Amino acid sequence: MLESAGEVPSKPGRSQLQLQQVDVVTELGNQYLLQNVSVDIFTGERIGIIGASGSGKTTLLRLLNRLSSPTSGEIRFEQKLLPDWPVLSLRQQLMLVPQEPKLLGMTVQDALTYPLRLQDLPESEIASRVQTWRQRLGIPDDWLNSTELQLSVGQRQLVSLARACGTAPKLCLLDEPTSALDPGTIDRVIKALKASGMTLVIASHQFEFLNQICDRILWLSQGKLILDAPIREINWAEIKSELTAQAEQDDWD
């Protein structure tokens, strides 16, 4: 039996991110990657996005970070349309941690401090934030001079999570953040992210992880939002069996 994250707050905070009737159509115009997606996300919520491979989870996260634009529909962050935000300012507040994190040739130490220097923070604040997130996520001293070539995928995931969280974004978009992490490290990530108070939107195939951290689940199927429900209403066994049946059907098609 999965132990859930708990009740959704009865009075959520201010609406922070809104999608209204969002469509994304391929360049050739022959396939919907997202179709008529409308969602309202509130400050401090932790949202999980589930769905089969290719169902549109990454497409949605990239849209929210303005790495791509919807074909139609509107997206607002803090009540302002995304195209009206200066892109750097938007990405500092609404940060994406991609599925395959890169350190761009930097050492771990430089990767952790670089985005904080871009924010012009005092050195003491930079050191304190790096230390805090290294401790929360368990990043040891002996990784600091390594580059991504010397790190495992899971180690890179942890570093890119620490790098993003250190900048204290208002909302963090996480694409498969724990896919390569061991169970003990996943527990540590859950504790750290919950304690941060950030709004989180997490795409993941790891139901146990989502169940422990999220208070609401969105289910995408072939680009359509087919479920938007609080965690207490989620029947994981049913979802798993539907996804398995769908995958078997896809194998036959």
Ligand X SMILES: Nc1ncnc2c1ncn2[C@@H]1O[C@H](COP(=O)(O)OP(=O)(O)OP(=O)(O)O)[C@@H](O)[C@H]1O
Listed residue (166, 78, 86) closest to 118, CA to CA: 166
Q: What is the CA radius of gyration of the chain?
A: 18
Told to check if 70 binds ligand X by CB under 6 A, we report no
Residues 53, 119, 131, 152: which binds ligand X (CB under 6 A)? Answer: 53
Residues 6+ apart with CB under 8 A from 99: 58, 175, 176, 179
Rounded to a whole number of angstroms, the minimum distance from the CB of residue 61 to ligand X is 8
* Cα 84-92-205 angle, rounded to 5 deg: 100
Tokens read off for 242? 């539907």
| Between 53 and 79, CB nearer to ligand X | 53
Residues 35, 45, 46, 56: which binds ligand X (CB under 6 A)? Answer: 56
Rounded to a whole number of angstroms, the minimum distance from the CB of residue 51 to ligand X is 5
| Between 51 and 70, CB nearer to ligand X | 51
Residues 45, 47, 51, 65: which binds ligand X (CB under 6 A)? Answer: 51
Told to check if 33 binds ligand X by CB under 6 A, we report yes
Told to check if 26 binds ligand X by CB under 6 A, we report yes
Beta-strand ranges (E) seen in 2-79 are 15-25, 32-42, 46-50, 72-77
| Residue whose structure tokens are 């069996």 | 241
* Cα 109-167-180 angle, rounded to 5 deg: 65
Rounded to a whole number of angstroms, the minimum distance from the CB of residue 195 to ligand X is 27
Helix (H, G, I), strand (E, B) or coil at 89: helix
Pick the stretch among 8-16, 57-65, 114-122, 239-247 that binds ligand X (CB under 6 A).
Answer: 57-65
Residues 59, 160, 167, 212: which binds ligand X (CB under 6 A)? Answer: 59
Number of residues near ligand X (by CB under 6 A): 10
Rounded to a whole number of angstroms, the minimum distance from the CB of residue 68 to ligand X is 8
Told to check if 230 binds ligand X by CB under 6 A, we report no
Residues 6+ apart with CB under 8 A from 69: 63, 83
Rounded to a whole number of angstroms, the minimum distance from the CB of residue 3 to ligand X is 25
Listed residue (172, 163, 170) closest to 143, CA to CA: 163
Rounded to a whole number of angstroms, the minimum distance from the CB of residue 169 to ligand X is 21
By CB under 6 A, name the binding residues for ligand X: 26, 33, 51, 53-59
